[in-house]
Structure 1
Amino acid sequence: MKWNKFKLKTRTEAEDIISSTLMEIGIQGIEIEDKVPLTAMEKEQMFVDILPDNGPDDGIAYISFYLEEEEDKEEILATVRRELEELRAFIDIGEGSIEESQTEDVDWVNNWKKYFHQFYVDDVLIIPSWEEVKPEDEDKMIIHIDPGTAFGTGMHETTQLCIRAIRKYVTEGAEVLDVGCGSGILGMLALKFGAGHSLGTDLDPCAIDATHENMEVNGIRKDQYEVMIGNIIDDTTVQDAVGYEKYDIVAANILAEVLVPLTPVILHQLKPGGIYITSGIIDDKETKVVETVKVAGLEVLEVNHQGEWVSVVARKAKR
Structure 2
Amino acid sequence: MKWAEVSIQAAEEETDLVASCFYDVGATGVVIEDSETESDEQELSGAGRALRVMVKAYLPVDDELDGRIAAFRAGIERLAETDGFDAAACPIAKRIVQDSDWENNWKAYFHTQRVGQHIVIQPTWEEYTPLAGDVVLRLDPESAFGTGTHPTTAMCLRALEQMVRGGETVFDVGTGSGVLAIAAAKLGAKTVIAKDYARASAEVAAKNVAENGVQDVVTTGVSDLLAAFDGQADLVVANIIADIIIRLFDELGAHLTPGGRLLASGIIDERVADVTEAAVAHGYVIEDMYTDAGWAAMVLRRASE
- Name the residue aligned to 1:115: 109
- Residue 165 of structure 1 and its aligned partner are, at CA, apart by 1.7
Q: Secondary structure at the match of 2:63?
A: helix
- Name the residue aligned to 2:127: 132
Q: Is 1:228 matched up with 2:221?
A: yes
Question: Which residue among 201, 225, 230 is the counterpart of 1:243?
Answer: 230
Go from structure 1 to structure 2 and tell me whether the alpha carbon gap of 1:250 and 1:61 turns closer, same or farther (over 3 Å shift): same
Contact 1:32–1:64 (Cα < 8 Å) also in 2: no
- Name the residue aligned to 1:9: 8
Q: Which runs of 5+ in 1 are unaligned?
A: 36-55
- Name the residue aligned to 2:256: 270
- Name the residue aligned to 2:166: 172
Aligned residues: 278
- Name the residue aligned to 1:192: 186
Q: C-alpha separation between the residues in 2 aligned to 1:292 and 1:142?
A: 35
Q: C-alpha separation between the residues in 2 aligned to 1:286 and 1:192?
A: 30
Amino acid at match of 2:115: V
Amino acid at match of 1:284: E
Question: How high is the TM-score relative to the length of structure 1?
Answer: 0.73
- Residue 73 of structure 1 and its aligned partner are, at CA, apart by 4.9
Amino acid at match of 1:204: A
Contact 2:191–2:218 (Cα < 8 Å) also in 1: yes
- Name the residue aligned to 2:274: 288
Q: Which runs of 5+ in 2 are unaligned?
A: 37-48, 81-86
Amino acid at match of 2:120: L
Q: C-alpha separation between the residues in 2 aligned to 1:189 and 1:225?
A: 10
Question: How high is the TM-score relative to the length of structure 2?
Answer: 0.76
Q: C-alpha separation between the residues in 1 aligned to 2:207 and 2:259?
A: 33
Question: Which residue among 202, 207, 214 is the counterpart of 2:196?
Answer: 202
- Residue 259 of structure 1 and its aligned partner are, at CA, apart by 1.0
Go from structure 1 to structure 2 and tell me whether the alpha carbon gap of 1:132 and 1:291 turns closer, same or farther (over 3 Å shift): same
Amino acid at match of 1:131: E
- Percentage identity across paired residues of the two chains: 27
Q: Is 1:306 matched up with 2:292?
A: yes
Contact 1:178–1:201 (Cα < 8 Å) also in 2: yes
C-alpha RMSD of matched pairs (Å): 3.8
Deviations 1:205-237 (A, max 9, x none): 01221111101111113x32222323236xxxx
Contact 1:8–1:96 (Cα < 8 Å) also in 2: no
Contact 1:178–1:186 (Cα < 8 Å) also in 2: yes
Q: C-alpha separation between the residues in 2 aligned to 1:315 and 1:278?
A: 11
Amino acid at match of 1:259: I
Question: Which residue among 245, 264, 276 is the counterpart of 1:259?
Answer: 245
Q: Which structure 1 residue ranges, 4+ long, deviate > 6 Å from structure 2?
A: 19-23, 85-88, 90-93
Q: C-alpha separation between the residues in 2 aligned to 1:169 and 1:124?
A: 14
Amino acid at match of 1:124: I
Q: C-alpha separation between the residues in 2 aligned to 1:292 and 1:254?
A: 16
When you count strand as a share of all residues, which structure comes out higher? Answer: 2
Q: What does 1:79-118 align with in structure 2 at a 5 Å threshold?
A: 80-81=68-69, 84=72, 94=88, 98-99=92-93, 107-118=101-112
Go from structure 1 to structure 2 and tell me whether the alpha carbon gap of 1:176 and 1:285 turns closer, same or farther (over 3 Å shift): same
- Residue 317 of structure 1 and its aligned partner are, at CA, apart by 1.5
Q: Secondary structure at the match of 1:75?
A: coil
Contact 2:9–2:35 (Cα < 8 Å) also in 1: no
Go from structure 1 to structure 2 and tell me whether the alpha carbon gap of 1:64 and 1:288 turns closer, same or farther (over 3 Å shift): closer
Q: C-alpha separation between the residues in 1 aligned to 2:126 and 2:108?
A: 11
- Name the residue aligned to 1:218: 212
Judge which range, 136-145 or 182-191, deviates more.
Answer: 136-145
Go from structure 1 to structure 2 and tell me whether the alpha carbon gap of 1:228 and 1:85 turns closer, same or farther (over 3 Å shift): farther
Go from structure 1 to structure 2 and tell me whether the alpha carbon gap of 1:261 and 1:114 turns closer, same or farther (over 3 Å shift): same
- Name the residue aligned to 2:302: 316
